[in-house]
Amino acid sequence: MPLTARERMAIARQKMPERAPDVRNRDFHEVNLGYHQSLAALEADRCLQCKDSKCVGGCPVGIDIPGFLERVSAGDLKGAAELLLAANALPGITGRVCPQEEQCEQLCIRAKGKNGQPVAIGHLERFVADWARENLDIRQLVAPPTGYRVAVVGSGPAGLTCSGELARKGHDVTVFEALHQPGGVLTYGIPEFRLPNHIIDAEVDRLRQMGVKIVCNVVIGRTFTIDELLKEEGYDAVFVANGAGLPVFMNIPGENLKGVYSANEYLTRSNLMRAYEFPRFDTPIIRGERVAVVGGGNVAMDSVRTAKRLGAKEATLVYRRSRAEMPARVEEVHHAEDEGIVFELLCNPIRVLGSEDGWVRGLQCVRMELGEPDDSGRRRPVPIRGSEFVIDSDLVIMAIGTRANPLLTSTTPDLKLNKWGYIEVDEAGATSKPGVYAGGDIARGSATVILAMGDGKRAAASIDQYLRGRPPTSQR
Amino acid sequence: MFRILDARQLASDVKCFRIDAPLVARHRQPGQFVIIRLSETGERIPLTMANADRAAGTIELIVKAIGKTTRELCKKNAGDTISDVMGPLGNPTEIIKAAHAVLVGGGVGTAVIYPLAQTLRDGGSFVSAITGGRTRELVVLEAELRNVCDVVYACTDDGSYGFRGTVADKLRELIDPARRRRESSIAPERHANAGAACRPVEVVYCAGPVPMMKAIAELTRPAGIKTIVSLNPIMVDGTGMCGGCRVTIDGQAKFACVDGPEFDGHAVNFAELADRLTAYRVQEKLALDRMEHECDMAT
Ligand SMILES: Cc1cc2nc3c(=O)[nH]c(=O)nc-3n(C[C@H](O)[C@H](O)[C@H](O)COP(=O)(O)OP(=O)(O)OC[C@H]3O[C@@H](n4cnc5c(N)ncnc54)[C@H](O)[C@@H]3O)c2cc1C
Ligand SMILES: Cc1cc2nc3c(=O)[nH]c(=O)nc-3n(C[C@H](O)[C@H](O)[C@H](O)COP(=O)(O)OP(=O)(O)OC[C@H]3O[C@@H](n4cnc5c(N)ncnc54)[C@H](O)[C@@H]3O)c2cc1C
Ligand code: FES
């Protein structure tokens, strides 16, 4: 007998089981342990199965959320997985990293009211995805070969999603990745304790089984240009998804001292190069005792929690606005607090202080207060005069954002860019250059995994349409 | 996996490798480098391509064994493999046609300037090379340079070979206008290097240890001679993504892997570069000691 709405309402949100903060902040294993089936079913029972399910509207890829939750509560995990995978090729990843509190869960009817607690859609997505990975043959059927060849630049979420969709339609897809390992930010940026690499590996393996070729160590713009891919290498179309990987520094004095990293460098050393296992792995990393991380987003959160795990006695997050404005996922902020991260809010660095031998010894900051709202609608932080103080630190990490990397776009002059250097695309994901599509962070500016995936999917549909209107290059 | 086709010892700790890397070879231009990773646990290190053969799909690297990765690489031989070779990276050398171009290389820097010689000469420049080391064994690639340069000066600090003094001392001589006047009065047949001595030095290309590059830049600055230096900061990705390779040029931060590696020697903040290169000294020593320890255990 189905539960009544009253019975459903009576169930409290099930907490995600997680490892103890003072244990997990010393290693790189995943923090969240995942629901087991009975917990998942109980949580899924909380869904009221609304007729006009608002949550679906909050999902950038339109997952049939009530549908998959209903199947979870009925114990039909295979059915749940099929529904989920129909809309989202990487649920094991998005279940872990989507900002659900701003998307589906924000719109959940149960989030309303003072003590409202939305259904834990993200946790359930993760549960179903993990179950599917272990128990289902999620290889997708691939249509007969079409004879068209597509090059995908970059193997982040946008590139991976696009290549999967294109392969399914029978196109011959090659992904070119600059680094030695695929996955984009998922591999080099987001740490193991939040998104284990084996999940990305499984996804990449699945794509390979579908016939997608992934070629690492190829930098488009250097090894080949886009024009060469189209004119000499015989590709019929290109999808550009090279991310927004150019680190931004603050341009304050002392930023080139030893012991100042961009978050990109720090996280790449730790995640991609496995410097946290130095000297078993060759790449070194500076392990600070007192680490200050500047920023308030996911990147800052990942950096400061990495610093703690690398042995920092004190790991401090320095953010110029207040907590409410922090762009990081709420869950990460909670996890960071539990792990003993110190938050210096309304505080802005003005100078990195160095010792005589060129090492960082502190971060000079000024206190801020919130003034009038700025363009982003958030109240603008303004410095409080005379409030300068120093945070003693031997390692400073700048996590204040990234920009478009001009390496590829500068070698493709007919690719129209906007004033920030991002590639301009239309509704279909098409660029100003025929046969060239773009998506993910290089088109949007730093955004999210799910939006990058959505772009990949949309571009795949557009590319498919574009190809079918013309003969394959190989037959011309 | 990238296969080593050929490995040749050039000096006791310098080796030249020919590697099968067709995609890299195809677009390589002088001055560009690759980033390699020896194995799954390896570090990514940048190495300049000394040469490339488009038709054969091969590139050449000249490597000086100094730390863990370069020593491990120098143990490899034909038939061995390297996990990753990525490139070509960096901007090609700005080729300036000059009445007299001088290449100055110290240590591994010689590997960086060597490929330039042929290109400059093909472009119609008269090319001299100055290469040096503390003592005779440390002067590398001299024979190779002789094949592609008009004149080669080998220098040793202790005078055990060639010119006694540093490469900077030799360059000072070459750019000294008084000397040029003096030597140009000697009939060319009687002076082997007269060709070089008569021509005013118009451009200097330099690669090597930071103090050496700094000394060269300071020498050419008052003379107003254009000086291009190839910088060697620590790199990770080589695509502009990490910012670890940042150097200060004319007060501005530049990423050597994408904006360089070559810059105007008169605009470089050398002190900062030298200091940043020492960031991992402790870890580098640890890695090396550990490797030597493992070698001892194996024998
Ligand atoms: C530390 C960190 C934490 C984050 N946390 C979250 C989170 O919790 N939730 C969330 O939704 N989002 C998060 N984000 C943002 C999210 O990861 C990005 O929006 C997303 O990865 C963008 O995907 P993409 O496919 O456009 O590009 P990327 O993931 O950046 O991938 C681009 C790929 O292209 C490669 N490439 C670049 N140039 C070239 C070239 N010239 N030739 C060939 N290959 C090239 C790169 O090496 C890279 O592998 C985080 C980002 C970072 C850095
Ligand atoms: C653009 C460029 C071109 C180069 N070309 C050549 C070449 O043709 N032949 C050659 O023998 N060497 C070249 N080098 C230097 C070479 O990269 C270093 O010798 C090598 O990285 C040292 O690694 P290791 O593990 O053997 O030594 P380590 O013990 O790790 O380091 C020894 C020293 O090398 C430097 N170094 C360490 N790690 C890196 C890194 N990841 N990137 C850059 N420098 C580092 C540091 O100054 C360090 O003190 C080049 C460097 C750059 C930046
Ligand atoms: S090596 Fe990372 S930006 Fe240059």
CATH of the domain at A30: 1.10.1060.10
* Residue-number span of the structural domain to which A355 is assigned: 248-402
A210 in the same domain as A101: no
Same domain, A423 and A383: no
Q: pLDDT tens digits, residue range B55-69?
A: 999 999 999 898 999
Q: Which of A111, A135, A159 is the last residue of a domain?
A: A135
Q: How far apart are CA A286 and CA A35, in angstroms?
A: 36
What ipTM score was computed for the predicted complex, to two decimals? 0.91
Alpha carbons B122 and B116: distance in angstroms, whole number:
10
Q: Is residue A283 located within the same domain as residue A167? A: no
* A345 shares a domain with A295: yes
Phi-psi map region of A445: left, alpha, beta (phi>0 left; psi -120 to 50 alpha): left
> Considering the domain boundaries, does residue A141 fall inside one?
no
Residues A266 and A369 in one domain: yes
- Shortest-distance ligand to the CA of residue A399: 1
In a domain, A140, yes or no: no
Does position B184 have pLDDT exceeding 60, yes or no? no
Can the peptide bond before residue A471 be classed as cis, meaning omega within 30 degrees of 0?
no
Which residues in B lie closer than 8 A to residue A273 (C-beta atoms)? 43-44, 236
A240 and A257 part of one domain: no
pLDDT band for position A6 (cuts 50, 70, 90): confident
CATH number at residue A349: 3.50.50.60
Q: Which of A217, A274, A284 sits opposite B85 (nearest CB)?
A: A217
Q: Go through B118-156 and write b for each residue having 16 or more CB atoms within 10 A of its CB, e for each that does not.
A: ebbeeeebbbbbbbbbeeeebbbbbebbeebbbbbbbbb
Note whether B280 contacts A179, CB cutoff 8 Å.
Answer: no
pLDDT in tens, B117-150: 988 988 889 999 999 888 888 788 888 899 999 9
Q: Quick one: A299 and A378 in the same domain?
A: yes
Same domain as A392, residue A252: yes
Task: Give yes or no for a contact between B213 and B108, defined as CB atoms under 8 angstroms apart.
Answer: no
Q: Which ligand is nearest to the CA of A304?
A: 1
Do A282 and B27 count as a contact with CB atoms less than 8 A apart? no
Asked which of A135, A165, A186 is the last residue of a domain, the reply is A135
Contact A26, A309 (CB under 8 A): yes
Helix ranges (H only) for chain B are 22-27, 68-74, 109-122, 142-148, 167-175, 177-184, 194-198, 210-223, 256-259, 270-276, 281-298
Number of domains in chain A: 3
In chain A, whose CA is at the least distance from the CA of B276? A258
A218 vs B88: CA distance, rounded Å: 9
Same domain, A239 and A261: no
Q: Is A85 helix (H, G, I), strand (E, B) or coil?
A: helix
- Could you tell me which chain B residue has the CA closest to the CA of A284? B283
In the reported structure, the alpha carbon of residue A292 is separated from the centroid of ligand 1 by a whole-number distance in angstroms of 24
**Domains recognised in chain B with CATH numbers:** 2-89 (2.40.30.10), 101-276 (3.40.50.80)
A80 falls within a domain: yes
- Percent of chain B with pLDDT strictly greater than 90: 63
Residues A92 and A20 in one domain: yes
| Alpha-carbon span A73 to A2, nearest angstrom | 10
Q: Give the predicted TM-score (pTM) of the model.
A: 0.94
Q: For residues A269 and A397, what is the distance between their CA atoms, to the nearest angstrom?
A: 13
Asked if residue A142 belongs to a domain, the reply is no
Q: What is the C-alpha separation between B175 and B224, in angstroms, rounded?
A: 11
| Residue A444 placed within a domain | yes
Task: Give a yes or no: residue A231 inside a domain.
Answer: yes
- Please tell me the distance in Å from A370's CA to the nearest CA on chain B: 31
Specify whether A83 is located in the same domain as A115: yes
| A-contacting residues in B 62-121 (Cβ below 8 Å) | 68-69, 83-89
pLDDT, position B191: 46
Shortest CA distance to B117 belongs to which of B101, B134, B136, B141? B101
Residue whose CA is at the smallest distance from ligand 1 atom 38: A242
In a domain, A305, yes or no: yes
For the stretch A105-146, pLDDT in tens is: 999 999 988 888 999 999 999 999 999 998 987 677 788 999
What is the C-alpha separation between B105 and A353, in angstroms, rounded? 36
Q: Residue B241 is nearest to which of A264, A286, A406, comparing CB atoms?
A: A264
Residue B188 is predicted with a pLDDT of 46
Q: What is the pLDDT of residue B196?
A: 61
Residues A256 and A346 in one domain: yes
Chain A touched by B234 (CB under 8 Å): no
Residues in Cβ contact with B288 at an 8 Å cutoff, skipping those fewer than 6 apart: B67, B68, B71
Domain-located, residue A144? no
- Each residue's pLDDT tens digit, A416-445: 999 999 999 999 999 999 999 999 999 999
* Boundary (domain end) residue, out of A381, A402, A423: A402
